Amino acid sequence: MGKKLSEASTGLLSQMGQADMDTDPSREKRGDLDFQTPLTKWKGDAKGDARTDAQEGQSNGKGGSTSPGAQEHPRSDTAVGPAQPGRNWGNQRYQGNGSWGKDLSSRGERQDQAQKDQMRQMAEILRAIARLCLRLEDFQSIQCLDCEFVIFLQTPHSNNPRSITEQLYQVGQEWHAQKESAPESISQPMRNVLLFCMITALLRKVQELESDLEQMQKVTEAGLVDLLGHKEVVDYLNAILRLSAHQQVVGRFHALHQMVEKQSTDIAPFSLIIHGRTEESLQMYTYFKKLSRCSIWHLIAASMRPGKLGRSPLAKAIERMLKDI
């Protein structure tokens, strides 16, 4: 009985060992298959592989090629569907060159537009400055109604022997020379010196009429004597000479155009502005107001009138140019 049990167990063990031996090759095959399957799965599902629907149709459809080489190196000329960025290098280089040209042209257009905008802004600034200058000119003309006189002096170019413009020019040159050589010796500004010299010349001409009856007859026949009495004129001129020495009386006295030794025009206009803050300046304005439009100014080939509203020639030129901008 025991012998039979040992034989049965031995046979069972031998059968189990034979079964194990029979199953070893299959395990090796399964191991090979299991080893190959992940490789195939890894190749097909690689990370970062952007596949389009058209490529999946070619690889999975009938007659499609599933070789790894065909998937890794597709040909750009046989690709179906939209172009894939990052792979079609030839077309990408061509598009890049085209974009560079567009960038250059757009940059030039932007620069041209910027220059046009800058010129437009400059034109607006010039218009604003011109309008501001004209407004200041109008305001100044209003302010000068109570303090300005305009004196028109004839030059030697008009062939008038009574002209004194050359003498005034020489006085101005001597004053400038003295200022450069000995500035400490100058006690009066040039406007006061020029006005003093002009009034002195006029007073001397008026006083000559007192002793020269023949000259008095000539000026009377020429209509140079008006209702203003001779004594009154002399008194006014003497008072003007006395007041012209004050510093706060004469604001400005200058030619409206540049004075030269040989004038090419017949008239040299001068502007006289009197301050209005002191008692002396009020007296000066009163005397000049009485002598305005008086015929005695013809004795020095001149005429005088009060200031009036209006724009200067320079302001009129700016106004004309403003219309053309």
Of 172, 166, 174, the closest CA to residue 195 belongs to: 172
Q: Is residue 44 part of a domain?
A: no
Q: Is residue 101 part of a domain?
A: no
Tell me the H-state helices in the chain: 2-44, 53-60, 68-72, 89-143, 165-181, 190-211, 213-221, 230-243, 279-291, 313-324
Domain hosting 304: range is: 146-309
Global pTM? 0.60
Asked if 214 and 275 touch (Cβ cutoff 8 Å), the reply is no
The identity of residue 193, as a single letter, is V
The rounded distance, in Å, linking the Cα atoms of 254 and 268 is 10
pLDDT the model gives residue 276: 78
Tell me the H-state helices in 45-88: 53-60, 68-72
Q: Is residue 128 part of a domain?
A: no
Q: What is the pLDDT of residues 255-265, one digit of tens each?
A: 988 888 888 88
Ranges under pLDDT 70 in the chain: 1-104, 219, 222-228
Q: Is residue 137 part of a domain?
A: no
Q: What is the pLDDT of residues 93-142, one digit of tens each?
A: 445 455 555 566 777 777 788 888 888 899 899 999 999 999 999 998 89
Which residue reads 């400038």 in tokens?
176
Which residue reads 């060159």 in tokens?
97
Asked if 297 and 233 touch (Cβ cutoff 8 Å), the reply is no
pLDDT the model gives residue 50: 47
The identity of residue 104, as a single letter, is L
pLDDT the model gives residue 264: 85
Q: Is residue 282 part of a domain?
A: yes
Q: What are phi and psi of 186, to 5 degrees?
A: -85, 125
Per-residue tokens: 178: 């003295």
Q: Is residue 99 part of a domain?
A: no
Q: Is residue 197 part of a domain?
A: yes
Count: domains in the chain: 1
pLDDT the model gives residue 211: 75
Q: Is residue 94 part of a domain?
A: no
| Region at 79 (left for phi over 0; alpha for psi -120 to 50; beta for the rest) | beta
